[in-house]
Amino acid sequence: MTKKYKVLFLCRENSARSIMAEALLRELAGHRFEAFSAGPEPALRVHPLAVAQLRPGVSDLGVLCPKSWLEFTGEWAPRMDLVVALDETVAANHAPVFPGNPALCSWDFADPLADGVADAERVRLFEKAFWQIVRQLSAFIDSPKYAVPAAVPARATPLHDACTRAPANLPNL
């Protein structure tokens, strides 16, 4: 029997990339993974362009909201198996200590909320980030390395390897 892995996606404002990753992992493989997202400076709401990318295929948008990563650091917080930084400013050396000693990794995607971007270009950046996340998550989900017996401690799992290795067949957008 295998356990359901808990994955936390981190992004600075937790309003775009990490929200899309959380929603997509829940939609694509919610039966195998519990997905969460957070950030050090959570926005007041999910960015409307992130919602626009998710709306066609994601059924439960109502549960998505920006959260502080501090919600995942206390004794009461769920024990993550994997923490994925989607923003270089929240990479492992900047992130807080999460209970349970989860594996940490980075998936680097361009920030669709970067300053100085025209509206038409911002829409294209959101679409690009969405499809990059879809491809990375698909490769991650399809990797046989995440499925280990529940008796094996989370730190001993090969999740980190599946996370850090970019699939060779993914083109750069």
> What is the distance between the alpha carbons of residues 74 and 78, in angstroms, rounded to a whole number?
9
- Tell me the residue range of the domain where 118 lies: 5-164
Residue spans of alpha helices (H) in 7-150: 17-29, 48-54, 119-142
Indicate which CATH number applies to the domain containing 110: 3.40.50.2300
For residue 168, name the pLDDT band (cuts at 50, 70, 90): very low
Side-chain-facing half-sphere of 62: CA atoms under 13 Å: 2
pLDDT in tens, 72-110: 998 889 999 999 999 887 876 678 889 988 999 899 888
- 169 in any annotated domain: no
Q: Are 52 and 112 in contact (CB under 8 A)?
A: no
| Confidence at residue 145, expressed as pLDDT on a 0 to 100 scale | 64
160 part of a folded domain: yes
| pTM, entire model | 0.82
Count the Cβ atoms, other than its own, within 10 Å of residue 117. 14
The mean pLDDT value for 139-150 works out to 69
Q: What total of structural domains would you count in the chain?
A: 1
Which residue in the block uniquely carries the two structure tokens 């709306």?
Answer: 55
Report which of residues 91 and 126 the model is more confident about: 126
pLDDT attached to residue 33: 94
